[in-house]
Amino acid sequence: METTKDERSSGRVSHLEQPAGAKHYRSDGRLKKKYYESELERLQEELVKLQHWVQAQQLRVLIIFEGRGSAGKGGVIKRINERTSPRIVRTAALPRPTEREQTQWYFQRYVPLLPSGGEVVLFDRSWYNRSNVEWVMGFCTEQQHQEFLRTCPEFERMLVRSGIIILKYWFSVSYEEQGRRFESRNAEPLKRWKLSDMDLEEHRLYVKYSMAKDTTFKHTDIKQAPWYVVPSDDKRRARLNCISHILSMVPYEDLVPDPVEIPKREEEPYIRPPMNDQTFVPQLY
């Protein structure tokens, strides 16, 4: 990734993606675990700096994660949340709409979830359900689909004009890799809950989902809120690349607070009740 002289002199590019050398890849081309974990830790430290900046500047950041089932959206969201505060960086994942919500303006139920000042909101799927899952599965009419494609760009332009920073990521997984991940889930009872009937239909209708994605991009890949594609057959590379790109898209400074002095306990003339008056959980470990 090229950087300008001004960017290098400002010190704002230290968190950007640093392409790994050949020694950090396995023979199958996937990223080695040790290097992945060290880079993830480095990027997570930068995410903490970003959250302090967002809070201090009262920024509003909306990050949309879309893609096929098992493409890795949840994995990158989990890694973003691991070190950040849920009061500043929160995740929104809506269930299917209720009967009442189905009668509302389509974008209405998403509006209350938009970020306020000092917040980053991660949408684990979003209003793009309409042009992907709903259209492919026949959950919306063709008229509703066309109306979405017309109005979505204007809706997003309104959000950007209001000051919201929008980042849209599409996680792209191949048919073969999606099949392997589904087989892996199917083979492990503790992961089988991740394999829904909708996932199985999505795998069967892989080509139609490709058509839906291409149509979505044709209408909604706009200058004010462009799409960024994340190749995700290698989950480790996808996570690092996506987080690195997020950090590059929101300029920030290091506002992590200095260590504080931990106060000593104040002494009070108080005698606590006996500990055997309390009920403790069994000490099995």
pLDDT value of position 280: 95
261 is a domain residue: no
Name the one residue in this structure whose structure tokens are 């504080």: 260
Supply φ then ψ for residue 17, to 5 degrees: -55, 130
Distance between CA 186 and CA 127 in Å, rounded? 29
C-beta of residue 150 within 8 angstroms of C-beta of residue 164: no
pLDDT value of position 22: 84
262 is a domain residue: no
Helix (H) or strand (E) holding 157: helix 142-161
| Beta strand extents in 103-255 (DSSP E only) | 119-124, 165-172, 227-231
Distance between CA 154 and CA 162 in Å, rounded? 12
Task: Look up the CATH number of the domain holding residue 233.
Answer: 3.40.50.300
| Concatenated DSSP letters of 5-49 | HHHHHHTTTTTS--PPPGGGB-TTSPBPHHHHHHHHHHHHHHHHH
For 1, the token pair is 């990734």
Distance between CA 247 and CA 77 in Å, rounded? 14
Q: 150-156, long-range: CB within 8 Å, 24+ apart, which pairs?
A: 150/219, 151/106, 151/107, 152/127, 152/128, 152/219, 152/220, 153/219, 153/220, 153/222, 153/225, 155/107, 155/127, 156/220, 156/222, 156/224, 156/225
Distance between CA 191 and CA 91 in Å, rounded? 21
For 159, the token pair is 């959000």
pLDDT tens for the chain, 285 residues: list them. Answer: 333 334 433 434 444 445 678 889 998 989 999 999 999 999 999 999 999 999 999 999 999 999 999 999 999 999 999 999 999 999 999 999 999 999 999 999 999 999 999 999 999 999 999 999 999 999 999 999 999 999 999 999 999 999 999 999 999 999 999 999 999 999 999 999 989 999 999 999 999 999 999 999 999 999 999 999 999 999 999 999 999 999 999 999 999 999 999 999 999 999 999 999 999 999 999
157 is a domain residue: yes
100 is a domain residue: yes
**If we measure between CA atoms, which residue out of 200, 243, 205, 257 comes closest to residue 47?**
243
pLDDT value of position 68: 94
C-beta of residue 225 within 8 angstroms of C-beta of residue 156: yes
7 is a domain residue: no
Distance between CA 263 and CA 89 in Å, rounded? 29
Distance between CA 234 and CA 184 in Å, rounded? 15
285 is a domain residue: no
pLDDT value of position 150: 98
pLDDT value of position 237: 96
Domain range for 46 is: 14-254
What's the whole-model pTM score? 0.90
49 is a domain residue: yes
pLDDT value of position 19: 63
Distance between CA 246 and CA 244 in Å, rounded? 5
Number of structural domains in the chain: 1
Secondary structure of residue 276 in the 3-state scheme: helix
77 is a domain residue: yes
Q: What residues pair up with 172 in beta bridges, in sequence order? A: 231
- Estimate the share of the chain in helix, then strand, then coil, as percent rounded to the nearest 5: 50, 10, 40
Close Cβ partners of 256 (under 8 Å, ≥ 6 residues apart): 48, 49, 52
| Concatenated DSSP letters of 105-131 | -TTTTTGGGS--TTEEEEEES-GGGII
Name the one residue in this structure whose structure tokens are 């500043």: 88
